[in-house]
Amino acid sequence: MQDEFFMREALRIASNAKGRTSPNPMVGAVVVKNGRIVAEGWHRKAGTPHAEIHALKMAGDLAKGATVYVTLEPCSHYGRTGPCAKALVEAGVARVVVAMKDPNPKVAGNGIRILEEAGIEVKCGVLEAEAVKLNEVFLKWISTRRPFVAMKTAMSLDGKIATCTGESQWITNSSSRRRVHELRDIYDAILVGINTVLKDDPSLTTRLEAYDGRNPVRVVLDSSCRIPFDSKLVSDEKSPLIVAVTEEAPCDRVNALRAKGVRIISCGNGPRVDIDILLSELGRMNITSLFVEGGGQVNNAFLKAGAVDRVYAFIAPMLIGGQNALTPVEGDGFARLSDAVRLKEIETELLDDDIFVTGVVE
């Protein structure tokens, strides 16, 4: 129970850097001496010292003979920083408790091996499920080299995202909209379809009252390269823009966008962007997470491609009705209930009167 108590604290402080460590994982470390926490540290940003280094620096001489709780196996390789496993050995710690092994092939048990060969007692697997959830984004990217995909929807109680006339602002309340911006702040990239750009001319930035959120990279599915050159996404320079096209896109428009600093990704030769190609390309660009805020057609494309990892659903207590009113997932859907996309690990929350539901795809 004591190990779980201190590991829970390590997990808590690791989450301080949510959305800031990509493409690295979030990691927290706690140094305990004589049953008391004497130092803490967490990884703040890729390329900066890891959690263990911050904690050991704070602990100083108190690290000798101490127990260190760390949410992910200490690294064993030289990158932009040195190996944390060797730093723990040099500090003279007596015991290391690890929540989970690192699936990164550069580590994959080597960090634990270094500790054990130095005579340090290692215990692994404490609150492992919580550690996996904390780093769901990193774990997906490091194992597949494709981004973790979250799909967001905002709808009425009867599942409409707009009225039959297309009116959609605002179905959900201000608390729900703030939560959306908090989510944008922690994802590497945000994606919409070209119809959203043509209809709303969105900026897709993060707007939070307390502070300026980090703007994600913006991605547009635009098979024919129809995006207006004077749209906010092209002209505001608030965040990089990626436009995903197909080989059918006119070369003159593609070249004109490139000249404006827009990155173009060619995703197949069909009438629609190939989602698999797109995700592979984004993964190669070290985009580890993607927040999909598209309409029903975009959502359908990602679901049919089996590309969605998590769903965020905001549900307003209103009934809109209308046979032709848009729904969160358009297209032909799934013909059999056995084929429907199901969620697990469900969490619910009231945001004033709205209902917020999230879960991971089974």
Residues assigned a catalytic role: 52
Which residue's structure tokens are 């709303």?
Answer: 200
The C-alpha atoms of residue 362 and residue 354 are separated, in whole angstroms, by 25
CA distance linking residue 176 with residue 154, whole number of Å: 9
Query: What is the secondary structure of 234-245 as a DSSP string?
Result: HHS-SS-EEEEE
> Residue 138 in contact with residue 132, Cβ under 8 Å?
no
CB 44 within 8 A of CB 70: no
Cα–Cα distance measured from residue 195 to residue 210, given in angstroms and rounded to the nearest whole number: 31
Contacts of 355 (CB under 8 A, 6+ apart): 314, 315, 317, 348, 349
Residue 309: left (phi > 0), alpha (psi -120 to 50), or beta?
alpha
Cα–Cα distances (Å) from 73 to 25, 116, 123, 277, 286, in that order, read: 11, 12, 10, 32, 22
147 within 8 A of 140, measured Cβ to Cβ = yes
Query: What is the Cα 81 distance to its own chain's centre?
Result: 23
